[in-house]
Amino acid sequence: MRLKGKIAFITGASAGIGAATAMAFAQEGARLLLAARRAGKLAQTASRAVDRGAAAVHSISLDVRSRFAVQRAIDELPPEWAEIDILVNNAGLSRGMDKLYTGRIEDWEEMIDTNVKGLLYVARAVVPGMVVRGRGHVVTLGSMAGEMVYPNGAVYCASKAAARTINDGLREDLLGTPVRVTSIDPGLVETEFSQIRFHGDVEKAAKVYKGIKPLTGEDIADAILWAVTRPAHVNIARVSLTSIHQANTLLVHRES
Return the active site residues: 156
CB neighbours of 181 closer than 8 A, spacing ≥ 6? 137, 138, 140, 167, 170, 171, 174, 235, 237
For residue 106, count other CB atoms closer than 10 A to its CB.
Answer: 10
Residue 40's Cβ-count burial label (10 Å; 0-12, 13-18, 19+) is exposed
DSSP 229: T
Residue 104: strand, helix, or coil:
coil
* Closest of 184, 178, 189 to residue 233, by C-alpha: 178
Query: ∠226-228-230 over CA atoms, to 5°?
Result: 70
